[in-house]
Structures are given as C-alpha cells and as structure tokens.
Amino acid sequence: MKPAVKYRWTISVIFLGLGLLLLPSFTHQSQGGYSIKLGRLKYNGGGDWYSSRTALPNLSRFCNSQLGMGIDPNEGLADIASPDIYNYPYLFMTGHGNVVFSEAEATNLRTYLEAGGFLHICDNYGLDKFVRPQMKKVFPELEFVELPHSHPIYHAAYNFPSGLVKVHEHNGKAPQGFGLIWKGRLVCFYDYECDLGNGWEDPEVYNDPEPVRQKALQMGANILHYIFNN
C-alpha cells in the first residue's frame, strides 16, 4: 500500500556519549508495505500505558481508508528509555494512573521531540495530576497552553470549529486540548476530559454512539495529518 501523501520526515539525533549518528526515517517500508508506523509509549510508575488496546489499529485503518495514508495497523511498542522511540513519527501515551520519568527517560523523550517527533497524550481519566509534573521534567521551561479552536490541528483534514468532541464524561468538565510549543513548533498535544483514545476503540468496547466515535476518529486523523504536513 502506498500513501496518497508523501511525508518528508526524518529524525537526526546525535548520541554524544556513543558517538553514534542515528538516522531512522519515518517513511520506511514496514512489513506489509506500509510507510508509517505509530508507536505506543511505554512508561514506568505503574500506570496502565497499555490501555485502549484497539485504539491505534482502528485509527490507522480509518486514516488509510479515508485519507489514503499508508499507516501500519499494527502499533509499535516504544519504551521511553529506548532509542526505539526514534522509529516513530507519533507516540501515543495514555493510561489512568501514575507516571514516573527518570532523568534519562525525560532527556530521551525531549531529544526525540526536539528532533521532529510528536507526542500525543490522552487522558484516559486520572492521568492529569501525574503526567503534568513528569512532562515538566522533559521541558522545564515550557507550560501546557490551551490551543485555541482556530489552531490548524482542529482544521487539518476535518473541521472542528468548537475544538475537541466529548467522548467520555470524567469530571463533568468541557474537553480541552493543550499543547507544548517548543521554538514555535507544537511537539505535544494533550487531550484532557475528552478521551480520544477510547473513542477510537472497537465499537463494542464502550458502545459509544457511532457519531461520537466517528468524530473521535476524525480528530485523531487531524492530529496525524497535522504532524505529517507541518
């Protein structure tokens, strides 16, 4: 399968301690002829990083069928401590519980993001109070800012004039999309009180109304379309 859009993404990272120049391309041909593979971020602390198991495969299939992307429907496992994270243009981070980044892990994630990678954090409920201080280890100088509804990520492939759709109720708050912006580039998108990942799951997992599920998939497609074209 060949993607309808040709993405020009390459990470170039120098590991000074090893004297190694790592040049993995985001447009490699993976098994099955797909040109892109999405990664799930594995982190420490006890939180269920492995939740929403059908989310990325379904999002990949949706993007392939609706937008002609060449995404492998089999997600990759990206350990935060490993150089394997550089194999993925997009990392999906989710869960309900505790998150702990070591200094080395925070540095590895920062290097990945500075080099062109993208992190999507999905609050599957209860993640917020844990993930915010850990992301502060990654970018001590940055704060999460709420992205205005006019931001291009809400209008990349589908139009979301009112921002994020509400997939699941958590604390009765309106959904919000936050971002970390490094040197003018959005490197992390955080959907809060929204639960996009659950909206991507197989229909029978939560029995969400199909219009809500479709909106969640469309917003996920927006995120991928945005990062592959900016």
Contact 222, 167 (CB under 8 A): no
Rounded CA gap, 112 and 181, in Å?
14
The boundaries of the domain holding residue 103 are 37-228
pLDDT (tens place) for every residue of the chain, 230 residues total: 333 343 434 443 333 332 233 333 344 344 567 889 999 999 999 989 998 899 999 999 999 999 999 999 999 999 999 999 999 999 999 998 899 999 999 999 999 999 999 999 999 888 999 999 999 999 999 999 999 999 999 999 999 999 999 887 777 789 999 999 999 999 999 999 998 999 999 988 877 899 999 999 999 999 999 999 98
Q: How many CB atoms lie within 10 A of CB 172?
A: 6
Q: Is residue 111 part of a domain?
A: yes
Rounded CA gap, 225 and 217, in Å?
12
| CA dist list (Å): 105 to 38, 85, 120, 166, 214 | 19, 11, 17, 32, 35
Q: Is residue 73 part of a domain?
A: yes
CATH number for the domain harbouring residue 134: 3.40.50.12140
Token representation of residue 12: 């170039």
Q: Is residue 27 part of a domain?
A: no
Total domains, the chain: 1
